[in-house]
Each structure stands twice: as structure tokens, then as C-alpha cells.
Structure 1
Amino acid sequence: MFSYNTRLGFTIVTCAIILFLFLWSHDTASSERTRFLVFNSESRDNIPTIPLHIHNNSDTYSSFVETVKQKYGSVRFSGIYSVNDELNTEEEERFRICVANGPRDLVKNGSLFWKTAQIRRTHHSYLSKEGAVLMEVGGNQGDDASEFVRLYNPTYLILEPLEKYANLLTEKFKDNERVTVLNLGLGTKNEVVMVKIEGNNACATSKFSTARGETPLYVTNATEFLLKIGVGLFNIDLFTMNCEGCEFEVLETLLSTNLVNHLRNIQFATHSRISGLEKPIQRYCRIQQLLFRTHRPTYQYKLIWESWRRRDLP
């Protein structure tokens, strides 16, 4: 039997995801499907308070509020706030060294992108605990997801911004009630970008590519999406990204708030060779310095793949 706290925690996560999906299903125009998620995504300085009563048209509202109140009392999201993301003198020096070494690190590790497939999947034994929560940004056709489910089978939220592949993932995991798939990507703002499908199974399709196309890619602001599904009320055990350059925008956005404290482990690929990305090595090195404030690397192939754990965790 699972403990009361474990079962309650799992209920909160599940209710938050169900609540989100209920609201999602009422926004039928595909070009507007991310509209309700973002109120003011142009500015990251003013993270909005999200009162629970905005969800009062949901059938799950009452049970969700009651579950949250039992564990946390009357809840507001005022504990989420902007932080100072300017680098201090010590961080500036580490940043300078990182930038200087960046081209060398890229050459050294550049051939390891696909060779890291096993470590990025097998490195996370903590996902086996009951109630563990995994969120993946960039599910593609589900190669990583299939392994995560086989190895750990956690409560699992997969974001995939291409509708074709979101549908594929939904079909693949339709019999697993722990897996939820959303046709959505994360970034700094609410947008629908028309992209060209590139790479094997669209694996190189990116909003940052200079090649324009006719396939819609749906993106919304990262911090406000996490607030909407209730992060801050619960922690995500692993937040993993492989999204063809969106990692830069998502990390920059999240690191401008204290939401990053609710991500126990953060794993990401670095797609620094995409032609439309601006100053990828400089941005990568700045992200490194900000992450060091709250997390530490548990494995790292610089500018390719790495995972960071919150400093208070073993």
C-alpha cells in the first residue's frame, strides 16, 4: 500500500493534468489552441498570479481545489516570482572561459549526440519511485518516451508541437493512463510558426531554421504553461528537452523566475548548429552560470547533452 502523502501527491498531479486537458478540449480552432495559455508573454518581468477560480467551468474544479486545500491550505501562486538573472563578477569570469572553450567543446563532443541515447534514458532511476513526474518537451515519434515508460512508467506529460507526431504519440500510449500527450511546444511567447519538415521523422524540424514551410508548429510561453498545470504546487522530477533549439528559449525563460526550483532534474540537448539561432555558444554559457545557482550537473557532454540536479538533492 502506498502512503497517504504519496497517493495525495499523485492525485494532485493527475487532477492538474486532467484540468488542463478539459480546458484544452474547449479551444477548437487550431490556430488559437495556445491562446488561453498566455496573457502577456512579451514580458518576463511580471509573472501573473493564476487564481484557481479561473478554472471554475471545469467539472474537475471542486475536487481539484479540495485536494489542493487538504495538502496546502488556501493556495495562491504568489510564491512564484521573477529573479535577478544578471551575472555577478564570478559568474562573468566563468562565462568568459566557457565561451572561449565553446568551439573546442563542440568539436570534442559533436559526434556524441546519438551515442548519448542510453545515458539520457537510463540515468534517471529516481523515476521508478511511486508518484514520480516526468515532463518531456519534444516527444517526436516517442523513441525516448518508449524507453522511459519501459524503464520507469512514471506520471508522464509529453509535449510535441507537430500535430502529426502528437497524434502518433497519443496512439502509441493510448493504453497507458499515466501518459498524457499535448500538441504543444514551449518557448518565450505564444505563437504558431509555419515550418518546413526536416530530417528523418521530422527530427530536425525547428522554428529557428531559415527554411520556411507550410506546417504549423504550436508554441506557448514556458513559465505560464507550467503555472497553468500547477507546477509550484508540485515538483517535476525530470524536465527533459530535445526540441531543436527551443531549449535556449525555455531555459532562459524559466531561469528568469524561481520556477526552476520546482524542477528537481533538468536534462536537455543543445542544438547549437541550427542556422537561425543567435549566439548559441554565448547563450549556452550564460544558461550554465544561471543553472549553477540552483542545480549541479550529474552528467555533461557540453553543447550536446547534459542533466542537472537540484543542489539540495543527493
Structure 2
Amino acid sequence: MKTLNVARILTACVIVVLIIYLFNSTQNHNLKENRSDIRQFFTDGEQKKVVYNKHLQLFLDGHPSPAVGGKALFNHSLSYDQINRISHCRQYADVDWLKGAENFVKDKYVCINHHDYLKENNTILIEVGGNFGADASLFTAVYNPRHLIVEPIPYYATLLQEKFKDNPRVTVLNFGLGQKTETIAIEFKGEGSNIYSNDFGQKKINVSVINSTEFFQNLGVGIYSVDLLSMDCEGCELDVLENLLETGMVKYFKNIQLEIHSMAYFIDKENYLTRYCTLQEHMRRTHRLTYQYKHMWENWRLLDLK
């Protein structure tokens, strides 16, 4: 009887080991499939119109897609003090907006000069909204980090690819980031093209927008941290920030810099203020402001960084 029990225990152990092995094999297979999918995503599909080149290996190789766990930070309840600060933010928005605009004019290069840490080796900058490359050129000239630019408008994406074709540290991808993957129509009117404009007679073009969380996961964010996420995407900033907070991925970005666009402020002020002022309080859980021209430009840095 004793021998029979030992045999049963050994059999059970073998079964458990086999199950673990099969589970890990499946996970590894899925991991490889995910990495294969993201490469195919960057190369295939006329509708997506995205560009993949060898420089993206810098971001993909060795960085499998992470599983982001934990309770979403964005769903945490707000304290009494936080609710009061949101109310104050909404109440004095007009004053803050005018003051922010006035002061930013005096310090308009803060979005470039504020990031000396990018001089360190192998720092990573993800720039959302490249336009014709004014900021990208300055970032490259001053810091030359590993630099990924996401630009949804084909004209600008092509211009950026040509501009940085001789810099192996710069990668340009032709799509935008948002809360969900979709194709949207925008009015192309040069610099400042955005989803809010509705000018009669303006040429409309379709652009691809990718769910920001899925994009960052496929890049491997979470296995490593991004030194700076800089967003000047004519209105997508709050969408991306909300996604990062909802999933908890926000903690993998050491610095998050964003331009707040006045178009959203004037078109749907109540909705904009609700989102912006609430996001300010949720960001304080993991980050602190290092500069802010309210409703214009601001930078958030992880609490445990200098």
C-alpha cells in the first residue's frame, strides 16, 4: 500500500511538471507570435500605411510584450482634497490659460532644454506627433537619444523619414496614437492639422490611429522604461494619458511631456476641463510636475527620480 501511494505521488508530480512545461511552451509560442505580429503590423497593410525599418530592432529585439498587471491607477477613488483641487482647476481655468500662454512665450524652448538626462547613453525618447520635425531636429542636435517618432500624416512622415534617413538612432512610423485602433478623417491644412477642425472646403485625409496601450506593450514598455514620452499630437495627448493611467503603464515612463491644445478648450470646454483637471490629480499618484504652463505645456517626472 505504501509503495502504491509513493507511485501515485510520483505520477502526480510528473503530471504537474508536464502541465507547467506545456503552459510555458504555449506562453513562449504566444510571445513569439506577438513579436511576429508587430513586425508584420509595421510592414503590411495598405490601410495602416505604417513604415517598418531595421532601426525598429532597437526597440523590439530583446523586449517581448509585457503583461501589465495590478489595479488600474485611473480607477482609484479621489480624496476630498483632490476633489477640491479639481474644482479649483476648473474654476480658474480662464485665468490659468491666459497666464500659461503669456509665460510660455518667454520660455518656449523649455520643451527641449528641460531634458539634460537624455544626454546619457542609450536613453529612449518616444515623440508622438512629429509634424515637419522642428522639435525632433532639436532633440537630435542637442541629445541624439534613441528616438522613435510617431506621425499619422503621410506627408509629414515621409518628410521626417527623408530628414533622418542618415541617423540610425531615429525611427519614423506613419500612424497616430489614441484610445482605440481606427481610421479617422482629418482636415489636412499643414501644421496644426487635427481632429477638431471643421473648415468647409478643406481637404480631408484618412489616417491610421493605433491603441496606445497595445502599441507600447508591443514595443516592450514594461520590460524597460522610457526616459521621455513627448506628445504634441494636436489633441491626442489626453487620450494617450488616460490609456496609460487606466492600464497602470504610466509608471514605465520616467518623464511625460505634453502640449495641451487650446482647440479642445474652446470647442468643448466642459468636457476638456473635466478630463484635464482630473488627470492632473491622477498623475500626482506616480509623478510630479517639473514645469507647467497650465493648459499649454507641462512635464511630469516619476516621484522617485530627481
Instruction: Give the structure-1-normalised TM-score.
Output: 0.76
Q: Distance in 1 between matches of 2:298 and 2:177?
A: 19
- Aligned with 2:109: secondary structure? helix
Judge which range, 175-184 or 210-219, deviates more. 210-219
The one of 20, 27, 30 equivalent to 2:44 is 27
Aligned to 1:263: 253
Aligned to 1:295: 287
The answer to whether 1:227 aligns with 2:217 is: yes
Q: Distance in 1 between matches of 2:70 and 2:41?
A: 23
Aligned to 1:43: none
Q: Is the 1:135–1:158 Cα contact (8 Å) retained in structure 2? A: yes
Q: Distance in 1 between matches of 2:259 and 2:66?
A: 33
Q: Give the drift of 1:114.
A: 5.5
The answer to whether 1:184 aligns with 2:175 is: yes
Aligned to 1:151: 142
Identity of aligned residues (%): 39
Q: Give the drift of 1:186.
A: 0.8
Q: Distance in 1 between matches of 2:259 and 2:162?
A: 26
Aligned to 1:123: 114
1:98-247 → structure 2 map (5 Å cutoff): 98-112=89-103, 115-198=106-189, 202-211=190-199, 213-247=203-237
Q: Which amino acid aligns with 2:274?
A: Q
Q: Is the 1:208–1:277 Cα contact (8 Å) retained in structure 2? A: no
Q: Distance in 2 between matches of 1:105 and 1:160?
A: 30
1:47-98 Cα shifts (integer Å, max 9, x gaps): xxxxxxxxxxxxx8xx94xx459xxxxx852446633244232211111111
1:185-230 Cα shifts (integer Å, max 9, x gaps): 11111111111123xxx22111132347421222111111100111
The one of 262, 277, 280 equivalent to 1:272 is 262
Structure 2: state its 5+ residue gaps.
1-34, 51-56
Q: Call closer, same or farther: CA 1:188–1:114 in 2, change over 3 Å.
A: farther
Aligned to 2:302: 310
Q: Distance in 1 between matches of 2:174 and 2:233?
A: 13
CA RMSD of aligned residues (A): 2.4
- Aligned with 2:108: secondary structure? helix
Q: Give the drift of 1:23.
A: 2.2
Judge which range, 185-194 or 165-174, deviates more. 185-194
Q: Which amino acid aligns with 2:198?
A: T
Structure 1: state its 5+ residue gaps.
1-17, 35-59, 70-74
Aligned to 1:72: none
- Aligned with 1:296: secondary structure? strand
1:17-71 Cα shifts (integer Å, max 9, x gaps): x978732343232x2458xxxxxxxxxxxxxxxxxxxxxxxxx8xx94xx459xx
Q: Distance in 1 between matches of 2:106 and 2:259?
A: 12
Q: Distance in 2 between matches of 1:227 and 1:68?
A: 9
1:13-92 → structure 2 map (5 Å cutoff): 22-29=39-46, 31-33=47-49, 64=61, 67=62, 76-79=66-69, 82-83=72-73, 84-92=75-83
Higher helix share: 2
Q: Distance in 1 between matches of 2:215 and 2:252?
A: 14
Q: Distance in 1 between matches of 2:68 and 2:277?
A: 30
Q: Is the 1:80–1:259 Cα contact (8 Å) retained in structure 2? A: no
- Aligned with 1:134: secondary structure? strand
Instruction: Give the structure-2-normalised TM-score.
Output: 0.78
Q: Distance in 1 between matches of 2:72 and 2:287?
A: 18
Judge which range, 207-216 or 144-153, deviates more. 207-216
